[in-house]
Structure formats: C-alpha cells, structure tokens
Amino acid sequence: MTNIQVTKIKGVRITKSISVFDSRGTFVKVHPFREFENNLDSVAISINPRLGTIRGMHFQIEPFAEEKIISCIQGSVFDVIVDIRPQSHTFGKWASFELSDHNQVQAYLPKGIAHGFQTLQPDTIIQYCLSASYSPEAAYSINPIGELSINWPIKEFLISERDSGGLSLSTAAYKYAQSIEN
C-alpha cells in the first residue's frame, strides 16, 4: 500500500485500500491500525440515504480528540477536512477529495483535523475507524456552509441544525487549543 501525502494539510495521508476480488465478491482491508498513536477504540458507520447530505465539520477535543481512518464502503462522497491546530503551518486550510466504493481510497486524519462530507450518491455508507470514544461533551461542529467557503458540489442539500449552527473556525481552534494545553 502506497501512502500519498496530502501536502495542503499536515499529517493527513490518503491511501488505497487492499482489495481481493474473486467469484464471491470483494474483501477490503482498511489501512493498518499501527498509524494510530493509541489503539483502535471503535468503528462507526454513517448511513446516508439522500443525495446531497452534508455532515460536518466534526471534531472532538481532548481527552477525546480522535485520529480517524475514513473510507466509503458504498456510494461516494465529496470529503472535506480542515486543520484546526493553531500551531500548525496549515492551520485554517481545508482540502477535499473523493472517497467512493469505486476508487477505494481512504483517509488517515490526525487529531486536530475537523472532518465533513457531502454525499454524491444516494444510499452512501461511510466507515470510521476511531482512536477515541465518542463524548457528547467533547464533540463539536464547525459550520460547513459559512466562513470556510467550501464549494459543495450539490447545491440542494440536507444538513442538521447542529452542523449548520456550528462554531466559527476561530472558536473551534480556541476550544481545541485549550484542551491540549490542559
């Protein structure tokens, strides 16, 4: 498996998953978990029936900040990441790429990277391998429609109130910075 560095956002790696095909179907292995500083904590699945659904930009603060490996196991998404680490030279920058069951690309995201996506097909399923447990008190969202100026490809979209009412980038960065200082 070859790592491809995403140079716009420090520490993010895009890889191709390992797949084996035969008459029964396909077996896909996600990136090895040795990438995580900590052990794998959980696997989560996001099922998205509607085309144009936007989820994000999600992150957690310490002690629940997460490393993530994200892959699309059905359908496709316009995947977006933003660096909220104030001391990073890529702070405030965002990058996008397509994840799909066809291209079998997966993304490794270090702590301090907010993540979101928009479904490009109905019935899209995203898998997350996470290094920390979900904590409602530590979980936040940055508004994906506002100041980040992300050009979402599908203009008619579905988004939750929590996400559309999310934090500004500066508030998110402040919360993250405070959590790693304590």
Do 126 and 117 contact (CB within 8 A), yes or no? Answer: yes
Q: What range defines the domain where residue 26 resides?
A: 3-181
Active site residue 176: no
Q: How far apart are CA 101 and CA 155, in angstroms?
A: 23
- Model pTM? 0.89
Q: Which of 58, 108, 115, 140 is catalytic?
A: 58
SS (HEC) of 45-85? EEEECCCCEEEEEEEECCCCCCCEEEEEEECEEEEEEEECC
pLDDT at 151 exceeding the cut of 80:
yes
Q: How far apart are CA 169 and CA 91, in angstroms?
A: 10
Q: What is the mean pLDDT of the chain?
A: 89
pLDDT of 69-104, one tens digit each? 999 999 999 999 999 999 999 999 999 999 999 998
CATH code of residue 174 = 2.60.120.10
Q: How far apart are CA 108 and CA 117, in angstroms?
A: 15
pLDDT of 1-32, one tens digit each? 455 666 688 888 888 776 777 776 767 766 55
Four-CA torsion 49, 135, 99, 176, nearest 10 degrees: 130
* Domains in the chain, number: 1
Active site residue 115: no
Q: Which of 31, 89, 108, 128 is catalytic?
A: 128
